[in-house]
């Protein structure tokens, strides 16, 4: 916000300078000089605006990239291997994430809870969502069952603390994080130092108070086998977090959280996690071997990861 204000002031100052030096028509031959009031206001606006614009993000003048490409630097659960559910192949992180399994991949970034920029490409090969059909066999007869609203997978990518919690869950009891979450919508969620959950989504504006002009939209449908480019950033100075998702040149969605409270430096891991807290159909799960029920899964490929911080 400070940077935007700075450029607005600079443009306004430049406009006043143009007005100040525009000579008014005179009836005599004496040339008119610049208007003193406009001149002073223009110089002040231009100077202050450029200062604010240039110094809006002083921390990122010293930003440094973090190399996320070395597989040995990642903390992965369960332990990675050629046949593991989370593994590196061809420079990409391939993950099979099952709800209730607490599968995750984390990279320590030693964050100071002030600012960061992250980007990645993500492709979903499988993403079990509410309403998806499953074939169940009960009493020797097959029937189609549709997953309930509490029976789905959600993938989170972003900053997490040591709990590696996916906070795409209003019942979460721990975990400070700032994450892009992918399920029946693409959401931007934050859980601050007090574990208070904030959300920007198709039906939540991302502000502390409901904006009068906010209108609920349609949730974003995630297509399988389509590569999405994601950019996530946070600035403590402005208390804002922004998520942008693109499909090629087309912007799929942009989410923004405002007035985000402070995080703690314990949120010092950049990672990928699946929704936990046993969000699966508990009535069917004990009999899954007999019925054919399977817990929700997400199979994803994450590549071209980049991250930088002051």
44 & 82 share domain: no
Question: Has residue 16 been placed in a domain?
Answer: yes
Residue pLDDT, tens place only, 14-63: 665 566 566 545 445 544 555 666 666 656 655 655 555 545 555 555 66
Q: How many CB atoms are closer than 10 A to CB 17? A: 18
* Cα–Cα distance measured from residue 281 to residue 211, given in angstroms and rounded to the nearest whole number: 36
Query: What mean pLDDT do residues 256-271 have?
Result: 85
**Residue 227 included in any domain:** yes
Binned at pLDDT 50, 70 and 90, residue 187 comes out as very high
The reply to whether 22 and 115 lie within a common domain is no
The DSSP element (H or E) to which 11 belongs, if any, is helix 2-21
Q: Let me know whether 39 and 92 are in one domain.
A: no
Answer with the one of 27, 54, 81 that is the final residue of a domain.
54
Does 83 lie in the same domain as 34? no
Please tell me the total count of domains within the chain. Answer: 2
Q: What is the pLDDT of residue 54?
A: 47
Q: Does one domain contain both 43 and 71?
A: no
Residue range of the domain that includes 292: 67-210+220-309
pLDDT in tens, 81-103: 788 899 998 889 999 988 888 78
Does any domain span residue 94?
A: yes
Structural contact between residues 74 and 106, judged by C-beta atoms closer than 8 angstroms: yes
175 within 8 A of 156, measured Cβ to Cβ: no
* Residue 61 in domain: no
**Residue carrying the six token digits 């921390």:** 59
* Cα 190 → chain centroid: 9
**Are residues 86 and 32 located together in one domain of the fold?**
no
The answer to whether residue 242 sits within a structural domain is yes
Task: Tell whether 62 is covered by a domain.
Answer: no
34 versus 202: the higher-pLDDT residue is: 202
What are the structure tokens assigned to 257, written together? Answer: 């959280």
In a domain, 215, yes or no: no
Both 136 and 192 in one domain: the answer is yes
Residue 13 lies in a domain: yes
Residue 93 sits in the same domain as residue 147:
yes
Q: At what angle do helices 36-54 and 2-21 cross, to 10 degrees?
A: 160
Write the pLDDT tens digit of every residue in 137-180: 888 899 999 998 888 898 999 998 887 778 786 565 567 889 99
Cα distance between residue 44 and residue 50, in whole Å: 10
pLDDT attached to residue 193? 77
Identify whether the C-beta of residue 105 lies closer than 8 Å to the C-beta of residue 272. Answer: yes
Overall residue count recorded for the chain in this entry: 310
| CATH code, domain with 164 | 2.60.120.560
């Amino acid at each position: 916000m400070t940077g935007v204000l700075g450029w607005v002031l600079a443009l306004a100052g430049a406009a006043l300078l143009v007005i100040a030096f525009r000579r008014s028509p005179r009836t005599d031959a004496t040339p008119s000089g610049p208007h003193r009031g406009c001149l002073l206001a223009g110089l002040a606006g231009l100077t202050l605006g450029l200062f604010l614009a240039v110094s809006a993000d002083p921390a990122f003048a010293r930003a440094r990239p973090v190399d996320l490409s070395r597989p040995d630097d990642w903390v992965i659960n369960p332990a990675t291997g050629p046949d593991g559910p989370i593994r590196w192949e061809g420079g990409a992180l391939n993950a099979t994430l099952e709800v209730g399994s607490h599968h995750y991949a984390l990279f320590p970034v030693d964050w100071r809870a002030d600012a960061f920029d992250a980007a990645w490409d993500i492709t979903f090969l499988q993403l079990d969502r509410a309403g998806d059909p499953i074939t169940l066999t009960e009493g020797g007869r097959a029937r189609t069952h549709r997953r309930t609203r509490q029976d789905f997978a959600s993938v989170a990518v972003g900053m997490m603390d040591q709990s590696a919690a996916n906070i795409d869950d209003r019942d979460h009891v721990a975990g400070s994080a700032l994450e892009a979450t992918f399920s029946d919508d693409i959401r931007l969620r934050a859980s601050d130092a007090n574990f208070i959950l904030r959300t920007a989504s198709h039906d939540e504006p991302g502000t502390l108070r409901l904006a009068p002009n906010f209108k609920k939209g349609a949730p974003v449908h995630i297509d399988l086998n389509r590569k999405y480019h994601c950019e996530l950033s946070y600035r403590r100075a402005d208390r804002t977090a922004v998520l942008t998702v693109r499909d090629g040149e087309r912007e799929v969605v942009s989410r923004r959280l405002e007035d985000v409270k402070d995080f703690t430096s314990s949120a010092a891991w950049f990672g990928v996690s699946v929704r936990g807290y046993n969000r699966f159909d508990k009535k069917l799960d004990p009999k899954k071997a007999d019925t054919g029920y399977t817990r929700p899964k997400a199979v994803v490929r994450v590549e071209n990861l980049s991250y930088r911080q002051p």
